[in-house]
Amino acid sequence: MRILGRFRRGDLHLTRVEAFSDGVFAIVVTLLVLELKVPALKDHGSVAELAHQLAELLPKFLSWLISFIIVCKFWLNHHHILGLARNANFGFVWLNSLFLMGQSFIPFPTALVGEYPDNKLAVSAFGIVFAINTLLFLALYAYIRRHLIKPELAARQDPHAVFKGLIGPASYLLGAAAAWIDVRAAFVIYGLTPLFYITPREWRGAAKGG
Amino acid sequence: MRILGRFRRGDLHLTRVEAFSDGVFAIVVTLLVLELKVPALKDHGSVAELAHQLAELLPKFLSWLISFIIVCKFWLNHHHILGLARNANFGFVWLNSLFLMGQSFIPFPTALVGEYPDNKLAVSAFGIVFAINTLLFLALYAYIRRHLIKPELAARQDPHAVFKGLIGPASYLLGAAAAWIDVRAAFVIYGLTPLFYITPREWRGAAKGG
Amino acid sequence: MRILGRFRRGDLHLTRVEAFSDGVFAIVVTLLVLELKVPALKDHGSVAELAHQLAELLPKFLSWLISFIIVCKFWLNHHHILGLARNANFGFVWLNSLFLMGQSFIPFPTALVGEYPDNKLAVSAFGIVFAINTLLFLALYAYIRRHLIKPELAARQDPHAVFKGLIGPASYLLGAAAAWIDVRAAFVIYGLTPLFYITPREWRGAAKGG
Amino acid sequence: MRILGRFRRGDLHLTRVEAFSDGVFAIVVTLLVLELKVPALKDHGSVAELAHQLAELLPKFLSWLISFIIVCKFWLNHHHILGLARNANFGFVWLNSLFLMGQSFIPFPTALVGEYPDNKLAVSAFGIVFAINTLLFLALYAYIRRHLIKPELAARQDPHAVFKGLIGPASYLLGAAAAWIDVRAAFVIYGLTPLFYITPREWRGAAKGG
């Protein structure tokens, strides 16, 4: 209890937390492209050979695209929930660091699934990583709602929003399970899941209620 | 319609959109240099061998230079159009994310054309990527003008600015077509195109009218 | 003396020092993941082979995890001590640059220990680098307390805080020494050390005293 | 003339120019460490072999150190001269982009000289790149003084500061010339040159005059 109490202390500026987080988000989305390596050609001038090699890169383009969209979606929702907080404390900063650790990990499963799009374990791991990232996001969100929410916004929150948010990890895990039957089904589920969260839930709730 | 309406909601801070975008721009321009790999020398101390190897890198220096200038030009114009907006909504954030996805992709065709400067497909793809990036930029610009423009600036906008902006993608596509005849012609067109946009159009228009 | 006096001059904005530092922190934590390279598989579709290869990566995951947590801890404490300063001068900026140099070096020993987790020198070097980083941090902290502290915060500082902070480097060096007996003991010590600093000391002191 | 006039237009926010520049600086200094590659060991557990391999990396550590210090010095002086400007226009933004292009290029000669510290061309090129970077910096500085200086600071400027600043490029070029006689002399000159600029000139002038 005393240990946990320590994390409730501290009055940090949200601006530096945002700057650090934006830096991590920006680097993660930009590093993703480094996996798109220039193919080695035997005949440097051959259009046919290059076209063939670029077509071989298709799974990497696809995994890059999905990861880019998902990280942007996390950025947008992160932006939203930090707007709910009146300040930052140590618990928040550490949960945020764990969340960013999950984000910075994304290039690895993205590269893995781009390299081995037919490997059931690789495709499954891709979904599990996104499920864990969404859970880390929901933990951060729940912490803000419980300890740091601006008083004027507290009443407008949907009390079930965190619980409803679990549909995200559930959907990614469904995709991860589907990978063992058909990897294409997994890709479809991974591609569709972020659409549920394409605009933050709260704002939709606020707009419906307003 | 209801789907589209969702994107018009949200009142996001432009500062975080700018911080995220500036991060992506800064990383893209800096990553470009990673393609300039230190050549392997047989005789480590040989000046002649190193000079020869550096001369071989010339196409990579050239593609690095062109991409750097073009991304800086996008940054400047991005800075300009965000200054027109009074706030950000979800539609804006997602268009901005798509635009940044295009920017973060630039290191790949840059590396491709630097590696295979005589390959017509590589040189052509370079121009097509810049054409798509300019179209994504114009989509963002058109969205801001239609939905988010500061009231005091609305009257001063050139009503044909977005249409006139299409000269950019047209020029890049012209270069992409020219690559199939002579790759050097394509490089000249790619190098000249950003000069049309070296200062944002609106400011020029404003200065002319004022 | 005149030389040292030069460093006491200058009235720099802390915001740009923070922006530069946050950029370095964000890149360091995100670059760490680049060491997690996609393994080469003989049978691309083989789940067993990929599972085996990922298990082989375990030391790299572990070193990535430890370094990520430690850099986040440095970020949090850096945020804290910059909040104590009323402005920046040249001495502060150069000490900060040396500190960031230490931070930006962290990916190298992290990669080294991830590659050779059984090599006593690699494991030992990992701890020595963190000891040096903590000393650089304490030098920055001591400089702020001596020259730049906000008058209203000066009285609330624990006069022994810098001295107490030496427990960090001492603990890392203990781990570095332990590596020569048993590398596993070193990893345990490295993993436990940041827990001492998980919330900045001053705030704890302030909370106790308040 | 009309062309040049276009660049004097525009009223951009310095904050985004700073954010973009700080991002580039932060990435450049952090990317430098990527050249420190983990050596390949035959016997993974051998302390002697690793110690030997790390000693072989010494030129890379040295070039990393010099480049890190020099980029930090550029950052500090860049921070200083942007503080002199009341706003940004297109000419300033483009000169700043060219300057950042020079900064982002630094990892390449750093890697080159780290790989081939005995190659006279590599060592010479290292100095030439820093000379060009300093000239780009001085161009930016001269532009600010001529077109953008805050009225209250104009009178306090040393009228010869830009001219005096040429000692920097001259010193780097001296080192580049010395490389053809003895590469060690060149490294000494490169290491000493940034010490002349370790605190911005203007502030020293201001302090002397005040």
Tokens found for residue C141: 């902290």
- In this structure, the dihedral spanned by the alpha carbons of residues C24, C25, C26 and C28, taken in order and rounded to 10 degrees, is 80
For residue range B179-202, list pLDDT tens digits in order.
999 999 999 999 888 887 667 755
For residue range D23-39, list pLDDT tens digits in order.
999 999 998 888 888 99
The CA distance from C142 to C137, in Å, is 9
For residue range D105-130, list pLDDT tens digits in order.
999 999 999 999 999 999 999 999 99
Q: Is C12 helix (H, G, I), strand (E, B) or coil?
A: strand
The CA distance from A64 to B105, in Å, is 10
Mean per-residue pLDDT for B139-156? 89
ipTM given for this complex: 0.87
For residues A34 and B179, the model is more confident at B179
Any bridge partners for residue C85, and if so which?
A: C149
Mean per-residue pLDDT for A167-191? 94
DSSP result, D78-120: HHHHHTTBS-B-HHHHHHHHHHHHHHHHTHHHHHHHHH-TT-H
For residue range D170-182, list pLDDT tens digits in order.
999 999 999 999 9
pLDDT tens for the 210 residues of chain C, in order: 455 666 666 667 788 899 899 999 999 999 888 888 899 999 999 999 999 999 999 989 988 998 999 999 999 999 989 989 988 888 999 999 999 999 999 999 999 999 999 999 999 999 999 999 999 999 999 999 999 888 888 877 887 888 888 989 999 999 999 999 999 999 999 988 888 766 675 544 443 332
* Residue C92: how many other CB atoms lie within 10 Å: 23
Closest to C161 (Cα-Cα) out of C176, C140, C190: C140
Tokens found for residue B125: 């793809």
Residues of C with CB under 8 A from a CB of D: 6-7, 9-10, 12-13, 16, 19-20, 22-24, 26-28, 31, 34, 90, 93-94, 97, 100-101, 104-105, 107-108, 111-112, 115-116, 118-122, 125
From chain D, pick out residues whose CB is under 8 angstroms from the CB of A23: 23, 26
**D5 — pLDDT class (breaks 50, 70, 90):** low
Mean per-residue pLDDT for A41-66? 92
Residues of A with CB under 8 A from a CB of B: 18-19, 22-23, 25-27, 29-34, 36, 38, 41, 44-47, 50-51, 54, 65, 68-69, 72, 75-76, 79-80, 83, 198-200, 203-204, 207
* Integer CA distances (angstroms), B52 to B49, B76, B118, B129, C140, in order: 5, 37, 19, 31, 46
Q: Is C74 helix (H, G, I), strand (E, B) or coil?
A: helix
pLDDT at D200 over 80: no
Tokens found for residue B109: 């065709």
Q: Is C2 helix (H, G, I), strand (E, B) or coil?
A: helix
Q: pLDDT at position C186, please?
A: 95
Cβ–Cβ < 8 Å for D33, C105: yes
Q: pLDDT at position B2, please?
A: 54
Kindly report the pTM of this predicted structure: 0.90
* 3-state per-residue secondary structure call for C85-145: ECCECHHHHHHHHHHHHHHHHCHHHHHHHHHCCCCHHHHHHHHHHHHHHHHHHHHHHHHHH
For residue range B54-73, list pLDDT tens digits in order.
999 998 998 899 899 999 99
Residue B50 one-letter amino acid: L
How many H helices and E strands in chain C? Answer: 12, 0
Any bridge partners for residue A12, and if so which?
A: A88
Q: Which of A97, A124, A129, A140 to mutate to test the interface with C (most CBs of C within 10 A)?
A: A97
Mean pLDDT check: name the lowest of A69-73, B153-157, D199-203. Answer: D199-203
Mean per-residue pLDDT for A126-133? 96
Minimal C-alpha gap between C40 and chain D (Å): 17
Backbone conformation region of residue C10, classed left if phi is above 0, alpha if psi is from -120 to 50, else beta: left
Q: pLDDT at position B104, please?
A: 94
Q: Which of A14, A16, A24, A29 to mutate to test the interface with B (most CBs of B within 10 A)?
A: A29
Q: pLDDT at position D162, please?
A: 83
Residue D52 one-letter amino acid: H
From chain C, pick out residues whose CB is under 8 angstroms from the CB of A10: 80, 199-200, 203
Q: pLDDT at position A207, please?
A: 37
Cβ–Cβ < 8 Å for C80, A89: no
**D4 — pLDDT class (breaks 50, 70, 90):** low
Phi–psi pair at D12, nearest 5 degrees: -95, 155
Minimal C-alpha gap between B23 and chain C (Å): 9
For residues C35 and B4, the model is more confident at C35
